[in-house]
DNA sequence: AATGAATGAGTATTCATTCAT
DNA sequence: CATGAATGAATACTCATTCAT
């Protein structure tokens, strides 16, 4: 394997460790040791640990948004029929998988990043991501909206985050979950298969009829 | 309000700070300052920070499991008809709400704890929780299984975690999410309402027909 | 010599090193090594290096202002005659010497502190000292003003700082200067003697008739 | 304005930053960024940061000494009368101002350099400057000596440094002092005017009759 | 039972300098 | 002649834990 240059080595080591341990739990020492580079190189090349995290974030988010956009266009050109909810989710999963080119860490760290962005103390990261990617994701989200069951705006907002929770939880902890599956059911999980399995579940969730009653059945 | 004693004060302060900032990001100094107790008392009463986290975990998990068990029994005694998936999920939400007695922190920290338990480096916490609560949760999970769509064991395992992801993500980030909802849709979220909204979505997900085809539609 | 306790040891070590090297040039490691205490004790007892510097500052400034005030009162009570400029400066020197009880470092570090306070980037320290001590020094400065030659307010402001320059330069570099004197003139300087020698020089400076002409003699 | 070449750009940037922040507080990165040159060029052209400081020192001290020498000769040729103390100090101020050609930084950094040279830990710089410039300054200092009040050698040594303290303090902190003057007295200080104001004060100080009594008046 | 003081190992970051090209 | 990349040593500061009392 060819030598990748210091910044690439750092990013790769960071992805792996971020995926396994999270961002705050990973120290710059661990990263530089794992990458076999000098302790100071993170600050030299990325300014700070935060800069490295943003670099990792952009490395995944930019191609993801591009994939999503392109696949959406391709589908709408090739197919005469209306796009279905399952198609949309399949497109999302494929876009995620195209990000997951080299190693599993990529997806895992990306999902951890989304989780981080929703933490109370991370408004800065959240608005950084929002400002950068919100508009690019808007067309996709709009298509989800029109294919979901009819519902109020705020209901859709929450359902979108129920769905996001499923995806981030599954993919950021995929390593642990597939290890449990292996010991309990002796079956090996591939990430592609699990993502495929998510599609009907998420689609059904978005299409479920909202229950107007409020805690009265029991 | 009566004085609660040092250990209780610590636990309460810890819940609040863990909920807001996460476990690693919260220092024992912050906890003891917030609780108005001596810095060393966490180690004195709980052995270590890790011990405090486990104490917090047990404080919620034990009553939760008990609630779940009791509500399940009550339902099966009172009602002649078969229990539905929506009923089961309603029971879960009510059990969670009964944990959420005093403040939102309780639920938030509990959900964060579950997330933590699935991290690669937290095998110790995971097996501690498993060993302690797995058997008590088994009857409830079995009922979910029989009310879900027919599927293989491993498929059910993954669906259960899709569902878990929705719940943990929504509740551990409830503060952030409801803040976003407020600025975007000018509507105030109550946690009860949002939990209620989750029920049909989760039920539909568990009942969705599995898709045997594998990435072939597009 | 009795053991002084960690905070005192730190302050003493800091005074010595600050006097010799300045504030920024002195590291917390040097201080704690020199004091024979743990590296973290500075942060434990003083919060930060800045906190230690302020503690050192207050240790000297408070007694200095009190000495000055008391000596001024004593003089005005005991003596029927008007106080002279030389008397005022003698009082200042004696107040400084009463601060210089234990070691030479005290005076030196105090003078370095004044120098620091006038640096462009130290507005915070400057305003901290101003707010805390300006009013207590006002009566003394007023007496200097009425005993100096008649002059405009702004002229007096600058003369006061010419004088301050003489004092701070001489006392903060006293160690170096007396070493030079020793090698060149084989005479030993005592700080008391040198401070006494400053009095007629400073007095003459304050009483000199201002020159209204502006760069015209040559 | 013509491009000055890398070394000149470095020296100019260094002057400005040294004047504002001091030597230790200014990093080579700041200097090279400000100068728009490569980070390594300071070490390339000046060997080290210390080498750059010495280069800055020589850039000012050599012309200063030359100015002083020339102006002294000019005065003695043109004027029949004996040179007065005020004349000598005026010559010094003019020599300093001729150094202060382009900007205030020059004077400020030069004064800071003198202060640095008297610090205990800077024997190297001190002896470098001494060895290089002491003999050239000797004639000027001798003239000060003969025009001052009669006094012992060592007394003159100290008075010279009282005077040096006034000059260095005023000029190295000129920025801060004139800012204070502006806010307090709403008058704008020009450095020429302030230097002129120093002359009668310093002259009076050198001519003051030494006080033989030793702390006995009060 | 409880605590104020202390501590060793750790954190991210900064620095002047070096070196291969 | 010049430079982008890299580096070892140092910086202030923080942490959970321990210990004598």
DSSP label at A149? Answer: P
pLDDT of residue B43 exceeding 50, the answer is yes
Of B22, B115, B211, the CB nearest to A200: B211
Residue C128's pLDDT is 83
* Closest chain B C-alpha to A121 CA, distance in angstroms: 7
Chains in touch with D (3+ beta-carbon pairs under 8 Å) read C
C25: left (phi over 0), alpha (psi -120 to 50) or beta: alpha
pLDDT for C120 equals 79
The answer, for D197 touching chain C at a CB cutoff of 8 Å, is yes
Q: Mean pLDDT across chain A, nearest whole number? A: 89
In angstroms, the Cα distances linking D216 to A128, A179, C86, D147 are 72, 90, 12, 29
Residue B47 pLDDT > 60: yes
B118-139: pLDDT as tens digits: 988 888 889 888 888 999 899 9
What pLDDT digit, counting tens, does each position of C102-154 carry? 666 888 888 999 998 998 778 888 888 888 888 889 999 999 999 999 999 99
Token pair for residue A69?
């956009």
Bases of chain E with protein Cβ within 7 A? 2-19
In this model, does residue B93 exceed pLDDT 60?
yes
Neighbours of B137 (CB within 10 A): 15
Do B and A touch, 3+ Cβ pairs within 8 Å? The answer is: yes
Give pLDDT, residue B212. 58
Q: How many contacts does A have with B, using Cβ atoms within 8 A?
A: 186
Nucleotides of F under 7 A from a protein CB: 2-19
Q: Would the Cβ of B61 be found within 7 angstroms of any atom in strand F?
A: no
Q: Which of C149, C151, C153 minimizes the C-alpha distance to C205?
A: C149
Per-residue confidence at B59, pLDDT binned at 50, 70, 90?
A: confident
pLDDT score at D216: 47
User: Contact partners of B by the rule of 3+ C-beta pairs under 8 A?
Assistant: A
- Note which residues in 35-64 of chain D have CB less than 8 A from chain C: none
First and final CA of chain C: distance in angstroms? 62
Q: Which residues of B144-163 are buried (b: 16+ CB within 10 A; e: fewer)?
A: bbebbbebeebbbbbbebbb
Confidence of residue B218 (pLDDT cuts 50, 70, 90): very low
pLDDT digits 0-9 by tens, C52-101: 999 998 888 888 888 899 998 888 888 777 889 999 999 999 999 988 76
Is A172's pLDDT higher than 60? yes
pLDDT digits (tens, 9 = 90+) for A22-71: 899 999 999 999 999 999 999 999 999 999 999 998 888 888 888 899 99
B78 at the A interface (CB within 8 A)?
no
At B104 the pLDDT is 65
Q: Where are the beta strands (DSSP E) in chain C?
A: none
Our measurement of CA B44 to C1' E1, in angstroms, reads 9
Average pLDDT rounded to a whole number, residues C11-15: 94
Please give the C-alpha separations between residue D145 and each of D85, D154, D167, in angstroms, as whole numbers.
Answer: 9, 11, 18
State how far the Cα of D134 lies from the Cα of A112, in Å rounded to an integer.
67
Give residues with Cβ within 8 angstroms of D54, minimum separation 6.
Answer: D125, D128
Q: What share of chain B is helix, strand, coil (3-state, %, to 5)?
A: 75, 0, 25
| Percent of chain D predicted with pLDDT > 90 | 59
Beta strands in C78-192 (DSSP E): none
Query: What pLDDT score does D217 carry?
Result: 47
Residue D203 has pLDDT above 90, yes or no: yes
Any chain C CB within 8 A of the CB of D16?
A: no
User: Which whole number is the average pLDDT over C4-30?
Assistant: 92
Check if A184 contacts B (Cβ < 8 Å).
yes
On the question of pLDDT at B75 being above 80, the answer is yes
Q: How far is the CA of C10 from the C1' of F20 (A)?
A: 21
| pLDDT in the model for residue C188 | 82
pLDDT at D151: 94
For C1-47, CATH gives 1.10.10.60
CATH number of D54-217: 1.10.357.10
Torsion over CA of A211, A212, A217 and A218, rounded to 10 degrees? 90
- Is A147's pLDDT higher than 90? yes
What's the CA gap between B20 and B28, in Å, rounded?
14
- Which of A114, A206, A89 is CA-nearest to residue A169? A114
Q: C48 with C7: CB under 8 angstroms?
A: no
Q: Which residue is nearest nucleotide E10, judged by alpha carbon to C1' distance?
A: A27
- Distance separating alpha carbons of residues B211 and A201, to the nearest angstrom: 10
Task: Give pLDDT, residue C102.
Answer: 60
* Cα B60–chain centre separation: 9
What residues does CATH 1.10.10.60 cover in chain B? Answer: 1-47
Model confidence at D218: pLDDT above 60: no
Tokens linked to D97: 């101002």
Choose the mutation target among A70, A169, A179, A195 for the interface with B, i.e. most B CBs under 10 Å. A169
Name the pLDDT band for C17 (thresholds 50, 70, 90). Answer: very high
Contact B/C (≥3 CB pairs under 8 Å): no
**How large is the average pLDDT for residues C176-191?**
89
- Could you give the CA distance from residue A171 to residue A188 in angstroms, rounded to a whole number? 15
Strand runs labelled E in B99-139: none
Q: What b/e string do you get for C20-48 counting C-beta neighbours within 10 Å, with b at 16 or more? A: bbbbebbebebbbebbebeeebbeebbee
- Tens digits of per-residue pLDDT, D57-88? 888 888 889 989 999 988 888 877 788 999 99
Two tokens, residue D92: 């010094």
Q: Is there a contact between C212 and D189 (Cβ–Cβ < 8 Å)? A: no
Give the whole-angstrom CA distance, residue B34 versus residue D68: 67
Task: Count CB neighbours of C121 within 10 A.
Answer: 12
How far is Cα B110 from Cα B116, in angstroms, rounded to an integer? Answer: 10
* C1' of nucleotide F19: residue with nearest CA: B40
Q: Which residues of C are less than 8 Å from D130 in CB distance?
A: none
Q: Which residues contact C175 (CB under 8 A, 6 or more apart)?
A: C19, C20, C104, C108, D120
What's the confidence (pLDDT) of residue A173?
92
Query: Rounded to a whole number, what is the distance in Å from the CA of C2 to chain D's nearest CA?
Result: 29
pLDDT digits (tens, 9 = 90+) for A80-114: 778 899 999 999 999 999 887 666 688 888 899 99
pLDDT of residue A120: 80
Closest CA to A195 of A94, A52, A57, A125: A94
Give me the total of CB pairs closer than 8 Å, taking one residue from chain C and one from chain D: 184
If we measure between CA atoms, which residue out of D156, D71, D61 comes closest to residue D109?
A: D61
A162, A167, A191, A210: best to mutate for the B interface, most B CBs within 10 A:
A162
Q: Verify whether the Cβ–Cβ distance D121 to C184 is below 8 Å.
A: no
């Amino acid at each position: 394997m060819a030598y990748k240059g210091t910044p690439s080595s750092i990013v790769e080591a960071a992805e792996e460790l971020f995926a396994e341990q999270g961002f705050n739990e990973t120290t710059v020492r661990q990263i530089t040791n794992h990458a076999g580079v000098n302790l100071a190189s993170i600050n030299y090349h990325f300014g700070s640990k935060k800069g490295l995290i943003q670099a990792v974030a952009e490395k995944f988010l930019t191609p993801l948004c591009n994939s999503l956009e392109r696949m959406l266009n391709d589908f709408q050109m090739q197919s005469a029929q209306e796009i279905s909810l399952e198609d949309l989710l399949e497109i999302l999963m494929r876009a995620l998988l195209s990000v997951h080119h080299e190693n599993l860490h990529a997806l895992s760290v990306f999902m951890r990043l989304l989780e981080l962005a929703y933490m109370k103390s991370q408004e800065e990261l959240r608005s950084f991501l929002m400002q950068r990617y919100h508009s690019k994701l808007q067309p996709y989200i709009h298509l989800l909206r029109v294919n979901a069951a009819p519902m109020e705006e705020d209901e859709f907002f929450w359902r979108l985050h129920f769905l996001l929770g499923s995806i981030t939880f599954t993919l950021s902890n995929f390593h642990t979950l597939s290890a449990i599956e292996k010991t309990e059911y002796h079956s090996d999980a591939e990430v592609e298969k699990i993502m495929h399995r998510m599609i009907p579940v998420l689609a059904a969730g978005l299409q479920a009829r909202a229950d107007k009653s409020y805690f009265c059945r029991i």
